[in-house]
Structure 1
């Protein structure tokens, strides 16, 4: 069960670009990471440029409402606006965990969350750690 456009539209009603339901296979805070059918969230000053995220597979973005969208972005590219990108990611993780609701049969068809910043996993968003622990066996985690 993947994160979808409609899932995000329910969380972030302020958006621009195409309005069609499709799936996001990855969510990333780093533009340089390969992100097949990805959702890019530029949370850090060094997250990279949106054009790089698009070149690496991003098909949508969560964008700070106070930051101007680059002029090179195609008009149909879906962008969801949020006043706080940290909170936005937190809402996405919580919503996605609720959507999965313990269905371990879906583990092979889940959206992958790609983070290079370990502080996101260990300090800020413990809900993601809990989600991983809920679906991944101790053997798979290397424990």
Structure 2
């Protein structure tokens, strides 16, 4: 399973408790998804940290340039990144052996909603991760 320590290696700017042995049961981009022991990736399209916490998030990766909501619990672990979608891709690439799209108790489950998959940037980046491919050219331009 993905752990606090794993994420800390990639995103050392944090706030909240610093417990290296916390393990994440899931990762999600959508705050309304049920995310048991979840690591929530707040994005410009979905910054509802309260909903993510209510749905099981125990930590978040948050865009550096966006202030955390005032209601964020002081102890709640938050990792700061420039781009949360890119951060999710980096985490999945780095820890592929710890993350799965299948429901398994021994690995961190990646939760993707229909909305996530309809977002072209997210879909293309995730597709490349799952297929282990380089970015494909679409409509004459390279996808990032």
Normalised to the residue count of structure 2, the TM-score between the two structures is 0.77
1:4 aligns with 3
Alpha-carbon RMSD across the aligned residues, in angstroms, is 1.9
Normalised to the residue count of structure 1, the TM-score between the two structures is 0.78
Query: For 2:69 and 2:34, how far apart are their aligned partners in 1?
Result: 21
Shift of 1:115: 1.1
Higher relative contact order (CA 8 A, sep 6+): 1
The total of aligned residue pairs comes to 122
Query: For 2:6 and 2:130, how far apart are their aligned partners in 1?
Result: 21
Contact 1:94-1:127 at 8 Å conserved across structures:
no
**Equivalent of residue 113 in structure 1, options 110, 119, 123:** 110
Query: For 1:90 and 1:35, how far apart are their aligned partners in 2?
Result: 18
Contact 2:17-2:77 at 8 Å conserved across structures:
yes
In the alignment, does 2:131 pair up with 1:130? yes
Shift of 1:130: 2.9
